[in-house]
Amino acid sequence: MQLQPGLYRHYKGPQYRVFGVARHSESEEEVVVYQALYGEFGLWVRPLSMFCEEIEVDGRRVPRFALIQAEVSPIGGSEV
């Protein structure tokens, strides 16, 4: 599964910048590395499968995170 680096909106409204996909050193699970664009601007990781999944909100399926604007990854390449 590929994920485009860039600006994303969480289904609850806040925006995040996705830097890319990394691998967990023990399990080799793919995780998304991203930063909150509010508050303390914390760095986060979340399993790729969870980041890309759809969830149910008010009886309809919506993406957990929706791409707002694609960007070139600061850690190399346009897609990770």
pLDDT digits (tens, 9 = 90+) for 33-43: 999 999 999 99
Cβ atoms < 10 Å from Cβ of 64? 16
| CA–CA gap between residue 1 and residue 36 (Å, rounded) | 23
What are the φ/ψ torsions at residue 27 (nearest 5 degrees)? -95, -15
pTM strictly above 0.85:
yes
pLDDT over 70, % of the chain? 91
| CATH of region 6-70 | 2.30.30.320
Q: What is the structure's pLDDT at 79?
A: 44
What band does 78 get if pLDDT is binned at 50, 70 and 90? very low
Q: What is the structure's pLDDT at 76?
A: 61
What are the φ/ψ torsions at residue 52 (nearest 5 degrees)? -90, -5
Q: Give 72 or 32, the one with higher predicted confidence.
A: 32
- Is 66 exposed, middle or buried (CB count within 10 Å of its CB: 0-12, 13-18, 19+)? exposed
Over range 57-78, report the average pLDDT.
Answer: 86
